[in-house]
Amino acid sequence: MFFSLYFDELNIRLHDASADQLGELCQVFVGVRDKGRKVILVGNGGSAAIASHVAVDLTKAARVRAINFNEADLITCFANDYGYEHWVEKALGAYADPGDLAILISSSGEIAKHP
């Protein structure tokens, strides 16, 4: 039952993006690369693994400089100093340069709720 529901949902999500949208995304990545900028990927939990994998694929296959924020020391340092709800904001402030692209991944589909 689980796998049937999982694959049904995956199939729906795969059809959410059109070929034109994917082409536009590719052009965004090319623009970042051509301007000498980088892509910063962020995820939490399983999404951190996705962010890590995408960063490597972008760098290796598309020649787009890409990094990810999933190192425990980076996350815990910024979360300890600024609060967990602000660690991404503060890390981007420290590492992002003008023209960089930040991608925040939520593979669960849940968006963090802040008070």
Q: Which domain holds residue 96?
A: 2-105
pLDDT band (50, 70, 90) for residue 9: confident
Which tens digits make up the pLDDT trace of 41-87? 998 888 899 999 999 999 999 999 999 998 899 999 999 999 999 99
In a domain, 7, yes or no: yes
Residue 57 lies in a domain: yes
From the number of C-beta atoms within 10 Å of its C-beta (0-12, 13-18, 19+), residue 79 rates as: middle
Residue 115 lies in a domain: no
- Which of the pair, 115 or 84, is modelled with greater confidence? 84
Asked whether the whole model's pTM tops 0.85, one would answer no
CATH number reported for the structural domain that contains residue 22 in this entry: 3.40.50.10490
Cα separations in angstroms, 90 against 6, 31, 35, 86, 101: 35, 25, 24, 6, 15
- Checking if the pLDDT of 115 tops 60, the result is no
User: How high does pLDDT run on average in the chain?
Assistant: 90
Q: Provide the domain count of the chain.
A: 1
Strand partners, 48: none
Residue 30 has pLDDT above 80, yes or no: yes
111 in a domain, yes or no?
Answer: no
Q: Which long-range CB contacts under 8 A does 50-55 form with residues at least 24 apart? A: 50/105, 50/107, 51/103, 51/105, 54/103, 54/105
